[in-house]
Amino acid sequence: MSGAIPGGAAPSDKKPGEYRLPTSAVPKHYDIVVKTDLESSPPSFSGESLTHIDITSDITTLTFNLHPTLSVTHLAISSSDLKTTSSLVLPLTALSVDKDQERGSVDLSSLPGGGLKAGMKGVKLWTRFEAELGGSMVGYYKSEGDLDEATGKKPIYALTQFEPTAARKAFPCWDEPLLKSTFAVSMISREKETVLNNMPEISSKPWKAPSNVSVENVMSEGYELGSLLGASGLTTKTEGKTEGKTEGKTEGKTEGKTEGKTEGKTEGKTEGKTATSSSSESWKITKFETTPLVSTYLVAYACGHFSSLHSEHKSKLSGKTVPLRIFATPDQIKQAQFGLDIKKWALPIYEEVFDIPYALPKLDTLVAHDFDAGAMENWGLITGRTTAYLFDPEKSSLAAKKRVATVQCHELAHMWFGDIVTMKWWDNLWLNEAFATLMGELVIPDRIWPEWKVRAEFLNSHLSAALSLDSQRSSHPIEVDCPDANQINQIFDSISYSKGASVLRMISAVVGEENFLKGVSIYLKKHLYGNAETKDLWDGVSEASGLDVAKIMANWTLKVGFPVITVDEIGDGKIKVTQNRFLSTGDVKPAEDETIWWVPLEVKTIGGGQSKVDHKAVLSERSMTYDVGKADAFKLNAETVGVYRVAYSPERLTKLGQEASSFTVEDRVGLVSDATTLARAGYSKTSGSLNLVKALGSTETEFLPWSQIATALSKLAGAWWEEPEEVRKAIDKLRIKLFRPLVDKLGYEHGPNDAPDVKELRELAVSTAAVAEDPEVLAELKKRFKPFLENNDDSQIPPDLQRSIYVNNARHGGLAEYEKMLKAYNKPPNPSTKVDAMYALCATRQDDLIDRTFKMLDDGSVKDQDMYIFAFGLASNVKTRHRIAEYFKDNFESLQKRFGDSYGISYLIKGAFNSLSSYDDLKKTKAFFEGKDVSKFKLVVSQAYDSIQASADWLSRDKKDVEQWLKENKYL
C-alpha cells in the first residue's frame, strides 16, 4: 500500500474513551440463563442475564457491549443505597445501540435521582434477549455434523466462540479482557441434549416455564432467572424489537421472535414464524458452578447430542483429582482418544514447570465440525476443529498426529498464560499467544515426544513464518496498538504467535531456560486471577536471571521488523558485524532503519575438531569488530536462536556449504534459510544461494535442512511460474536431481523402526519429486492409487504419502480420479483425509473439473471454515492461480458479508493473492482494493501487496542470474 506507515499497523488517533468502555460502571458478577432450541426454524436461543455492577462515578447512562444482532426484548434495573432499594422496569426506548461500536446504552433518567451515584454497589441490570443461532462461527452459533445415513439428516449443535469480541453477540456484557467477573451459568435444553460450560454441573432437573410470570417480578427475591424464557411466560407482549426501540411497555415478551442474525441459542417456541418445535420432548435446566474471575472472551457453553471419553489428572501440587473429558459427535468420538491422552500427559508437566496447579475443578474439550480458528482456550472447556483434535491411529498421518499434539498442548498452556493471568488489553495479545506457542509447540512436546525433535522443527514451523511476515514493510510490532474491535482480528497473525514465540525462545537462550521458566512462574504467581502486561513478564524473568530483560527486549517487542547482520572479513581473524533492518523488498529507507536491536551474536567457532559458542558476544550498536581468531570455520547465530538474518560474503557462504557437516541441524537450517531469503530480497545473488543448496544437497541427511531446501526451491518455482517453459522445466530438473536420490534410498513404505524424521524426509522427497514431475515417481503414485480408484483398496497408500498421492493423481488424471476425490471429500474416514481430498480437488488441470471445484465454493458444498483451504489449494495450481484471485474480486461483497466478523476473510485474501508475482498483478490488486472499506483487514491487504512486490522485484532482478546458473549447471 502506497504511503503505508512502516510496520503497517498505524498508531491509532483515537483516545481510549472512544474505543474502551467507560470506567464509571464495573461488572462484578453475571448470572446467565441460556435456552437453546436446536429444533426451531431457524435454530435459535434466548436468555436472561442479571449483571451485578459497582458504580465508580455518577452516571445518567449505563453503557456496555451489545451486538446489534442480539435482540434485547426487556430491561430492568435495581439499585440500592443505604436506605432504600428501588427496582424499575425500563421501556426499550431507554436502550439505544451503536452498531459501529457494538454498544448498548441505557438512559437512567427515569431512576430516582435521575441516575446512579458513585459508590453504589450491587446495582443489578436484568435483560432478556434472543437471537438466531447463526453459522458464522462467532458468538453462540450452530455447527452442523456429518450426514447421518440412517436419518438422512445432519445433526445440529451449538457452541460459543467469543474471542476476541463476540461475547456481546450472546449476552449483553462488558466485553473487555480487563473487566474480569465471576459467572454463574445455567442452561435450558431438551432432556436428551448434553450441555457444557467452563465449570462442572451442580444440578439438572426438569424445567417448565412458570405461568403468569410478569416482567415486573424479575427483581423480586423469589424470581428464578430464566422464568420468562417459556412459550407462554408473560401476560402481555411487546411489539417490535431490535436496537433498543419498541412500542408499548416492556412487560410481555416477543416469544422467541428473532429478527436479525446472531450466533447463540433461542427458545422453544417462535411465535409469528413457522418455527414451532416439532418435538414434544421435555426440557431441563442445568446449573453450573460459579467461575473464578474470568474475562468475557473465555466464557464458553455448548448444547447438543455429544458422546464423550473420560480420564483424570491427579495433581501433585493440590492433591486434587481433576476429571478430564473430551466431547464429540457420536460418529467421531472413537478418534478422540489421543486428544484426551495429551491432556493427561501434559498437565503434570505444566504444573511442574509453573509450580501452580491447574485452577479449575474439571477440564473438557469439545470437538466441533465448524470452527473459525484452529482451537480456543476457553477456561475449562477447550474447543476446536476436527483436524485439531481427532486422530485415527490406523489411517492418520504423522503430520496429523503432530497437529493434534501441538494444538492441545498450545491450548493447555493458555490455562495459565491467558486464562488465569490475562492481558490487560489486546495490544498485549502476544503475551497469550506467543507463550502458548513456545510452551505448547516446543517446551512441552519436547518433554513428551523427544523423538520429534521439536526444538529444531520450531525453526521451520515458527521462526521462518515470523521472519517472512516481519520482513514486509506492512508488518507490525509484537506489541501493536489496537484501537478498536474492528482491528483486533488482524493481529492474530505470525507476529503475535510466531515472532513472539521466537523472541521468547531467544531470551530463554540468553538467560537459560531454567531461569526463564522460573521467571515465568514468578510472573504468573504475582498476577493470579488478574491482568498483566509485557513489563510484568520481563520483571519476573529479570528477578530470576539478574538481567535487565526489559531493556534487552524493548526494541524486539516495541519496534517493527528485525535486523540482518552483515559480516565483513577485515583480516587477521577479525570480522566487522553491522546491523540494519531487513526488508523482503530490499529497499530499506533511512527512516525505516533507525532501530538498534540488542543482538545476541552467539558466535560459533570450530577448530581442532571442537566447536565452542561465545554466548557473551552482543551487538548493541550499529556495528562492532569481533575476533574469531584462527578458527577453521565460524558462524553467527549458533543453533539459530536469534531472531535475525546473517549475510556472509559469497566466498564465506561457499565455505560454509562445504563445512556444513561440522554444524548442527539447527545451524544448517539457519544457513539455508538466511542465504535463500537474502537472495530473494536482493542482498545477494540467487546463484549464490543455489550454490549453497547444491553443496548441502550432496551431503545432507536430515529432514529439517532438506525441508528448507525444498521450501527455497518451491518459492523459486512459484515466483518463476510464468517464465518460459524451458526455464520452469530446468528448475524442476534441479529439484529432481536433488530429491530423486532420496526417493531411491528411502522408498515409499515406512519401516517398522523408522524414526519420525525419516518418515517426514520420505514424504518430503516423494512429494517434491512428484511436484517437479519426475515420471517414475508419478508412475509409482499412480500405481498405488489404482486399487483405491477401482476397488476402494487403500492398502498401498501410506497415510504420510496420502496427500501427495491424492493431489498428483487428481492433477494428472481425469474425471474418474476427480470423482474418487469427491467421494473421499464427502465421506472421509478422518478429518485429515478430508483436507487431503480438498487439495486434490483443487489440483485438477481439466477446465470442466476446475469449473466444478469453483462451483463448490458457492453451492454449499464447502463449509465456511474450509474456504481458505480451497483458496490456498487453487492458488497452488498454476491453472487456477489467477482465477482464484478473480473469484475473490467478483465475490468480494458476499465474501465480506460472509466472513467479515471472523478470521476467514484474512485467510482468503492471503490465499487468493499472495502467490501472484508480477507487477501487472500488483497493479490490478491495488486497483481492486482502492476505495474499498478494508478497515477490518487492511494489514492483510498491505501484506498481499508486499508479497507480490517482493516476488516481482526478485524475478526482475535475478531472472538472468538464475538462467545463467541453470545453464552453467546443465539444467538448461
Residues with Cβ < 8 Å from 769, sequence gap 6 or more? 735, 736, 739, 740, 743, 777
**Cα–Cα distance, 126 to 32 (Å, whole number):** 10
C-alpha separations of 528 from 354, 380, 522 in Å: 12, 16, 10
**Cα–Cα distance, 878 to 456 (Å, whole number):** 32
Q: Say what percent of the chain tops pLDDT 70.
A: 92
Position 946 pLDDT exceeds 50: yes
Position 252 pLDDT exceeds 60: no
Position 364 pLDDT exceeds 70: yes
pLDDT of residue 485: 63
**Cα–Cα distance, 130 to 47 (Å, whole number):** 6
Q: Specify the 3-state DSSP secondary structure of 755.
A: coil
Phi and psi, residue 427, nearest 5°: -65, -15
Give the mean pLDDT of 415-434.
94
**Cα–Cα distance, 462 to 460 (Å, whole number):** 6
Contacts 24+ apart (CB under 8 A), 336-340: 336/309, 336/365, 336/367, 336/389, 336/390, 337/309, 337/391, 338/391, 338/393, 338/401, 338/404, 338/405, 339/365, 339/367, 339/389, 339/390, 339/391, 339/404, 339/408, 340/309, 340/310, 340/311, 340/365
Phi and psi, residue 674, nearest 5°: -65, -50
966: pLDDT confidence band, cut at 50, 70 and 90?
Answer: very high
What's 5's DSSP letter? P
Position 558 pLDDT exceeds 60: yes
Position 842 pLDDT exceeds 70: yes
3-state helix, strand, coil in the chain (%, to 5): 45, 20, 35
pLDDT of residue 269: 33
Contact 432, 531 (CB under 8 A): no
pLDDT of residue 484: 67
36: pLDDT confidence band, cut at 50, 70 and 90?
Answer: very high
**Cα–Cα distance, 628 to 635 (Å, whole number):** 10
Assigned C-alpha cell, 449: 515426544
Position 7 pLDDT exceeds 90: no
Written as one string, the DSSP assignment of 146-164 is --BTTTTB--EEEEEE-TT
**Cα–Cα distance, 130 to 728 (Å, whole number):** 58
Preceding omega of 172 cis (within 30 degrees of 0): no
**Cα–Cα distance, 810 to 846 (Å, whole number):** 10
Could you write out the three-class secondary structure of 855-916? HHCCCCCCCHHHHHHHHHHHHCCCCCHHHHHHHHHHCHHHHHHHHCCCCHHHHHHHHHHCCC
Helical segments of 559-660, H only: 650-658
pLDDT of residue 483: 67
**Strand ranges in 574-683 using DSSP code E only, listed in sequence order:** 574-581, 599-600, 603-607, 610-614, 618-619, 623-627, 633-635, 645-647
Residues with Cβ < 8 Å from 463, sequence gap 6 or more? 498, 502, 505, 640, 643, 673
Strand pairing category for 603-607 and 633-635: antiparallel
**Cα–Cα distance, 343 to 365 (Å, whole number):** 9
**Cα–Cα distance, 208 to 211 (Å, whole number):** 9
Written as one string, the DSSP assignment of 797-814 is S-GGGHHHHHHHHHHH--
If one compares 5 and 487, the residue with the highest pLDDT of the two is 487
Q: Which residues are catalytic?
A: 411
pLDDT of residue 279: 53
Residues with Cβ < 8 Å from 822, sequence gap 6 or more? 837, 841
The crossing angle, in degrees rounded to 10, of helices 802-812 and 775-791 is 90
**Cα–Cα distance, 237 to 859 (Å, whole number):** 40
85: pLDDT confidence band, cut at 50, 70 and 90?
Answer: low
**Cα–Cα distance, 854 to 44 (Å, whole number):** 31
Which pTM does this prediction carry? Answer: 0.91
Give the mean pLDDT of 228-235.
60
Position 271 pLDDT exceeds 50: no
Q: Specify the 3-state DSSP secondary structure of 44.
A: strand
Contact 392, 834 (CB under 8 A): no
Look at the block and give the residue holding cell 473438557.
364
pLDDT for 607-642, tens place per residue? 888 899 999 999 999 999 999 998 889 999 999 999
pLDDT of residue 480: 84
Categorise residue 824: left if φ over 0, alpha if ψ from -120 to 50, beta otherwise: alpha
**Cα–Cα distance, 735 to 624 (Å, whole number):** 40
Position 785 pLDDT exceeds 90: yes
What's 76's DSSP letter? E
Categorise residue 66: left if φ over 0, alpha if ψ from -120 to 50, beta otherwise: beta
